[in-house]
Each structure stands twice: as C-alpha cells, then as structure tokens.
Amino acid sequence: MRYLPHTKDDIDSMLETIGKPSIDSLFDSIPDKLKTKEPLDLPQALTEWELDDHMHNVEQSIIASGLCTYFIGAGSYDHYIPHAVKYLISRSEFMTAYTPYQPEVSQGTLQGIYEFQTMITQLTGMDVATASHYDCGTALAEALLIALKKKKKKKVAVSALIHPAHKQIINTYLNPAGYEMLEIPFDENGRTDFSKVPDDDIAAIAVQSPNFFGNIEKLEQAKNACDEKKVFFIASFTEALSLGLLKSPGSYGADLVAGEGQSFGLAKSFGGPGLGLLAGTNKQMRNLPGRLVGKTKDSNGDRGYVLTLATREQHIRREKASSNICSNNGLNALTAAMYLASVGKTGIRKIAQQNHDKAVYLRKKLSEAGFTFPFETEFFNEFIAKAPEGFADTRKRLIEDRCLYAGLDIGQYFPDFKDHYLFCATEKVKKEDMDNLALEVKAL
C-alpha cells in the first residue's frame, strides 16, 4: 500500500527494539475474546486507476455539473468561485495542518482566520466573530442556547420563516435539556409578524433575513419586539452574499448573528461542508462558543496571532464549557476569507446587485409565463412563485434534458403552499436561461 512505508526489514528491526516477537504480540494487552476473528467485510482494495474509474461511475449517476443552471437556493447557492481561491485553498500547508495549537508554526492559519473574523464582523456589523461553526443551523441553535443560559429562561421564539431544517436542528438541540422553541407566525406579506410574538416568558427572538421565502424582513420591528420583552435579538441568514447589498443585522441592533457562509467561495457539495458563521456584540464575547483568534506580540515584539479566550472552551472548562464544539469549519472560513479578499468592497456589491437584478428579471419572466406570486415583498435573490398547472412535468424534463433546476417545491415544508416554488437567481444564471425557462413554461 503506497501510504505505508514498512518493509519487512523495518518491521523486524522495530520489533527487535521493542522486544516483541511479532506484530500480533503488540496487541497482547487486548483480551483474546475481545478480538475480531474474521477479516473486515470490505470491497477489494482499488488502485488509484481503478478508483478513478469507480468514482467516474459515481459521478455519472448524478445530474450536476458546474455548467448546470440552478434556480434553486434554499440554503445552498450556486455562485461563481474564482480559480485563484480554489487553487490557494488546496495548498497543503493550509489543508493538512491541525488546529493551530502551536502558534509559532501556524501563523498562516491564524492570520487567515483573524482576517476572516475581521471581514465577518464588518459584513455583519457585529463586534466579534468566531473562527466558524459547522453551518448556519447549528450556529443558530448555539446562539439560542447562549440566550437561554444567560436569561435563565426555558423558551425561545423563532420566526416561522427561518429555514425549515434550522427549526428541526433547534428542536434537536433544545429539547433534551428541557427547552422549548415557539414559533412566530408570518403575515400576508410573507414577513414575520412581530405583533404575534408569543406571550410566554422567552429568552430570545430569532429571525432570518432574507427569510426562507426570500423576503427581506423588517429587522427594526424585530429589534423593537426584543427591546419590549427585554430578550436577546438573534438574526440569521442563509445567503451570505446578501450582506453585500443589505443593511447588516448589527446595524439593527442584533445581539447575536448566525449565518451560512457557503456563498463565499464554497462548493455546494451536496450540502456540506458549508460554513457556519457566528458573531456577537462585545458583551457576548465570552459567551460565544468555539475558537477565537486574537492578535498579540511575540517575545521580540513582532506581530503574531494566537487562539485566545480558550477558557470558554471544552478542553479547559469541560462540563461548564459554553459548548462542546472542538473542530469547526476552519478551512472553509479561510476559503471565505480568500473569496472576500478577491471580490473586495466593490466586487461584493456588484455581485450582490447582479443577484438581485437577475432575480427581479426571473420573476418578471415567470410572471409573463403564467406564474403568480403570493407576496409583493422586497427580496434579494429568492422569491416564491405559484406554478401554472403541469409545471412539475416541465421541471422534471428540464432537469433531465438540460440540467436546469427550476425552483424548489415548498409544499413539502409549507402544506398551504402547494404548487409553490422557491426560485433563486445568482450571478451565474444567464438571461438566455431565464428566457428559455419562460418559453418552456409558456408552451404548457
């Protein structure tokens, strides 16, 4: 096996040093009755050439490629990834390093994450951003746990229009410890109705903007509702690129922000690994779960970076830690930093604006083709549309024939919205694709 260096001579001489007669005898401390007698039931080992063939076949049974057209988002977005980003992130000094516990030989990761934290605070309008979390859903659940612990309450109120999977994650995280998630309903504009926050004794209100329907929430109303109840204001987003155009959650006074950063240079990769973003105000700095990188000086007075405030974390505080998180999504945080450094201040704005422009155009074309729209609310790059009869078949055909994914059926999440689709348009979709989609639907 090409990853294993041991020749017979190596093995013999090493065993001699150890003073054992055989490799098997190295395992004498394991009682025989606990050992497995049969070889592992696994397929025959493949050479790299055979593996390439095998994986090629795996690929063939998936309808997806960089050239497909995705009018679906819902938490995973098809944005252009610059080649320089892909190239740099595959440098093995970044990829094959462990968590930077030895800062003297980890300055690359550390400075990179420090710069990432800085850019995320800038985009979210918050004071502190962590070195990353698994994904938006888990980051949001952790944010709610912070509020529950700090406010010593048992319930939280969450907008009905946060991502449906995030609601499920929150329930999974909250229920065993005896916490409860309540929902805040939405209004006729497809926005969270903050006049209907449950009267219960809650620790936080959480709202996603743009919400799952794609609509931009009125976050000042969320802030007012939170102030009135003296609870944590937690904002989330699944489309990080919207921060290039939309006011930051921090500017509305959020205490904690959870987000999905997949849009910043990361492949969709069947939904993971993405990039959980978690940010807070200075007041929340010591309550945030996960790693933080800080700037300091070395013994010569030169600038350097270290993991800091580690006393919040599990390896020191054990059962009293703010969370159990250890590994995060650090390499993806670095990817996001590379992406943001590439697009820069003007690029992110331009790309974000193009997303919005294309989504507006798509909506117009769909309207011409017979779609109707339940809401006339401002959106970023996603919106809900009700399909004309027979669309499901057209949609299927477009996937199979052209690798064009026309919207996501949201009836599965919101039964009242049968035949409604969540459409998304990013900078990658072309006018021609949108025109063609409209023509196909019109032909029904």
Partner 1 sequence: MNHPGTSGLIFREPELWEKSRAGRCAVSIPGSDVETAPLNQEFTRDDVDLPELYEVDMVRHYTRLSQWNFGIDSGMYPLGSCTMKYNPKTNEAQASRDALASVHPLAGEPYTQGALKLMYDLERQLSAITGYDAVTLQPAAGAHGELTGMLIIHAYHEKNNDQRSKVLIPDTAHGTNPASVTLCGYEAVNVDSGEEGILTPEAVEAVMDEDTAGIMVTNPNTLGLFERNIREIADIVHAKGGLVYGDGANMNAIMGIVKPADIGIDVMHLNLHKTFSTPHGGGGPGSGPVGVTKALEPFLPVPIVEKNGENYTLTCDRPDSIGRLHTFYGHFGIMVRAYSYILSMGAEGLKNASQYAVLNANYLKESLKETLNLPFDKPCMHECVFNDKKQQAYHISTMDIAKRLLDYGFHPPTVYFPLVVDGSFMLEPTETESRETLDQFVQAVQAISREAAETPDLLHSAPNLTKVTRLDEVSAARKPCLKG
Partner 2 sequence: MKELQDLNLPEELKYSKDHEWAKKENGNIRMGIDDYAQDQLGEIVFVEMPEVGDTFSQGDEVGSLESVKAVSEFYAPLSGEVVKINEELEDSPELVNQSCYDNGWIVEIKPDDVSELENLMDKKAYYDMLKG
User: According to CB under 8 A, which residues from 48 to 107 bind partner 1?
Assistant: 48, 51, 54-66, 68, 70, 72, 74-76, 78, 80, 82, 84, 86-88, 90-107
Instruction: Give the count of residues interacting with partner 2 (CB under 8 A).
Output: 6
Residue with tokens 């900078």: 427
Using alpha carbons, select from 175, 231, 172 the residue that is nearest to residue 200. Answer: 231
Separation between Cα atoms, residue 354 and residue 430, nearest integer Å: 11
Q: Site map for partner 2, 285-314, x if CB under 8 A?
A: -x-----------------------xx---
By the rule CB under 8 A, 320 interacts with partner 2: yes
Strands of 408-409's sheet in order across: 382-386, 420-424, 408-409
Separation between Cα atoms, residue 246 and residue 232, nearest integer Å: 22
Tokens representing 427 are 């900078």
Q: Report which secondary-structure segment, H or E, holds 119.
A: helix 107-124
Distance of CA 316 to the CA centre of its chain: 27
Separation between Cα atoms, residue 364 and residue 384, nearest integer Å: 12
Return the range that interacts with partner 2 (CB under 8 A); candidates 27-35, 98-106, 316-324, 429-437: 316-324
Return the range that interacts with partner 1 (CB under 8 A); candidates 193-201, 289-297, 385-393, 436-444: 289-297
Q: Looking at 21, 27, 283, 411, which residue binds partner 1 (CB under 8 A)?
A: 27
Instruction: Give the count of residues interacting with partner 1 (CB under 8 A).
Output: 206
**Contacts of partner 1 in 198-257 (CB under 8 A):** 216, 243-248, 251
Question: Residue 415 binds which one of partner 2, partner 1, none, with CB within 5 to 8 A depending on kind?
Answer: none
Q: Looking at 176, 230, 389, 416, which residue binds partner 1 (CB under 8 A)?
A: 176
Question: Residue 27 binds which one of partner 1, partner 2, none, with CB within 5 to 8 A depending on kind?
Answer: partner 1
The dihedral sign for the CA sequence 254, 255, 258, 261: positive
Q: At closest approach, how far in Å is the CB of 249 from partner 1?
A: 11
Residue 203 and residue 226 in contact, taking contact as beta carbons nearer than 8 Å: no
* b/e map 384-393, b = 16+ CB within 10 Å: bbbbbeebee
Return the range that interacts with partner 1 (CB under 8 A); candidates 158-166, 181-189, 195-203, 382-390: 158-166
* DSSP conformational letter for 195: G
Question: Residue 190 binds which one of partner 2, partner 1, none, with CB within 5 to 8 A depending on kind?
Answer: none
